[in-house]
Amino acid sequence: MLRASDVTLAHGELRVAEGLTLEFAAGEVTALVGPNGSGKSTLLRALFGDHRVTAGEIALDDDRLAATALRRWQARIGYMPQENRGRSGLTAMETVLMGALGRLTFHVPEDQLRRAATVLDQFGLAEVSHRSLDALSGGQRQLAFFAQSLLRDPRVMLLDEPVSALDLRHQQLVMQDVRRLCRERGIVTVVVLHDLNLAARFADRVVVLGAGGHAVAGSPADVFDEALLRRVYGVEARIGADEDGFPWIQVRGARR
């Protein structure tokens, strides 16, 4: 269980969240959604230990972030930040192998190479595994960094907009893999999404962050309603359910 207890987050003098108390369970996918500037990425960075908590506490099981060596804390987490656009001479294969950095030496074990090759093949990157990141499309780079986070065998996965640069098919494939791996391995999984329909279909729970760090949490069917979308996003929307019982959201226009 990953917990944020009465957490306040700020950028300088600007508070982006105040008094957040949230729990993220093992084996469940939790989607963080909300408008721009609501603190989604900041909260993810704080859970990773890469953004200082102004007040409150973050804990993983019995370990408190404030009392744990940062390297030990982060070693258990597969973190995929939103921005992975810096230039790099690393190949796709080398990028994925970075996920096992704590276990690699100058000689890369055969089992690690096989695992990396399997993950690359899983995401359709086998044929470009020798290419540098600079030669890949934005979507291919995103898949490579997602594959890197999986190679860590993480107890926690923190994914910031992992499908934003992907086409429709790969969005579905990645989210299917996120949900499957989360359940099979009992991983605590927190994913930032802008697409509410993806969140409704693939997340067990959603946390809607609004202005000032106000949060509403629960199952997609319980949380998503027209009044909430009007209040948080400022849009008029229609909400229904598909033949499998998943909510779907049709935005009909923005309020002025």
- The conformation of residue 139, written as its DSSP 8-state character, comes to H
- Listed residues 118, 153, 188: the one ending a domain: 153
- The tens digit of pLDDT for each residue in 56-113 reads 999 999 999 999 999 899 989 988 887 665 556 788 888 888 766 554 444 567 777 8
Percent of the chain with pLDDT over 70: 92
Is there a domain that residue 172 lies in?
Answer: no
Is there a domain that residue 50 lies in?
Answer: yes
190/140 same-domain check: no
Residue 58 near residue 9, CB atoms below 8 Å: no
69/184 same-domain check: yes
SS3 content of the chain, % helix, strand, coil (to 5): 40, 30, 30
70/131 same-domain check: no
pLDDT of residue 255: 77
Residue 249 near residue 196, CB atoms below 8 Å: yes
Is there a domain that residue 171 lies in?
Answer: no
Structure tokens belonging to residue 172: 């579905």
- The strand pair at 188-192 and 156-160 is best described as parallel
**How many structural domains compose the chain?**
2
In a structure prediction context, what are the per-residue pLDDT tens digits for the chain, which is 256 residues long?
A: 999 999 999 888 788 888 899 999 999 999 999 998 888 999 999 999 999 999 999 999 999 999 999 989 998 998 888 766 555 678 888 888 876 655 444 456 777 788 888 878 877 888 888 888 888 887 788 888 888 877 777 899 999 998 888 889 889 988 998 899 899 999 999 999 999 999 999 999 999 998 766 789 999 999 999 999 999 999 999 999 988 888 999 998 887 7
The range of the structural domain enclosing residue 35 comes to 1-76+154-166+180-256
